[in-house]
């Protein structure tokens, strides 16, 4: 079972500025990205919760700050949620494997890049549940009322998501 992985990124600085490698194949022992997306979010936005059956996500912060809520939906992991904070000052690449539910909360305007191990097909591999479902165990900041997409507002409960995933033919985690 692949873990969520944080890879520290080390900028090379000189008087002109800096250069930071954001991805090297040798850093990961999983499927390589076939697509990279540039994402910009306003403050108080929450994207997710989603989980992928096929796809691995590779996140790299460019500007701002985000809190990544994680809950492992693979066998034995449900309910042990956590948050990893990524920021432009704490440069890291976060690798999220299949079966780990994840959502992104942006307390300030943020820009990040996300690499995908499968081409983005939007609906078939983006299973969703409510971001605030207590069964996820994600310790989101208290008293937030985030801006959500219509899909995230209409998301089902964790229990309903787990039923859907149990019925999915391609679940190998």
Give the mean pLDDT of the chain. 90
Residue 132 pLDDT: 96
Q: What is the pTM of this model?
A: 0.89
Closest by CA position to 117, among listed 38, 29, 50: 29
Residue 73 pLDDT: 93
For each of the domains in the chain, give its residue range(s) and CATH number, in order of start.
5-10+23-167 (2.60.120.10)
% of the chain residues with pLDDT over 90:
63
For 65-107, the pLDDT digits (tens) are 999 999 999 877 676 799 999 999 988 999 999 999 999 999 9
Q: For the chain, what's the residue count?
A: 173
Token digits for 17?
């500025």
Q: Would you write out the chain's pLDDT as a tens digit for each of its 173 residues?
A: 678 889 888 888 999 888 888 888 888 888 899 999 999 999 999 999 999 998 999 999 999 999 999 999 987 767 679 999 999 998 899 999 999 999 999 999 999 999 999 888 766 788 999 999 999 999 999 889 999 999 999 999 999 999 999 887 667 76
């Amino acid at each position: 079972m692949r873990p969520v992985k944080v890879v520290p990124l080390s900028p090379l600085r000189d008087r002109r500025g800096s250069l930071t490698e954001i991805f090297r194949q040798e850093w990961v022992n999983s499927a390589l990205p076939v697509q990279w997306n540039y994402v910009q979010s306003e403050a108080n936005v929450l994207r997710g919760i989603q989980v992928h059956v096929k796809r691995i996500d590779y996140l790299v912060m460019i500007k701002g700050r985000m809190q990544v809520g994680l809950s492992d939906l693979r066998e034995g992991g449900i309910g042990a949620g956590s948050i990893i904070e990524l920021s432009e000052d704490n440069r890291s690449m976060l690798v999220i494997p299949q079966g780990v539910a994840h959502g992104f909360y942006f307390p300030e305007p943020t820009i990040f890049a996300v690499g995908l191990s499968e081409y983005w097909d939007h609906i078939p591999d983006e299973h969703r549940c409510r971001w605030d479902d207590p069964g996820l165990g994600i310790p989101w900041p208290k008293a937030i009322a985030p801006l959500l997409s219509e899909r995230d507002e209409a998301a089902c409960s964790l229990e309903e998501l787990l039923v859907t995933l149990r019925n999915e033919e391609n679940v190998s985690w």
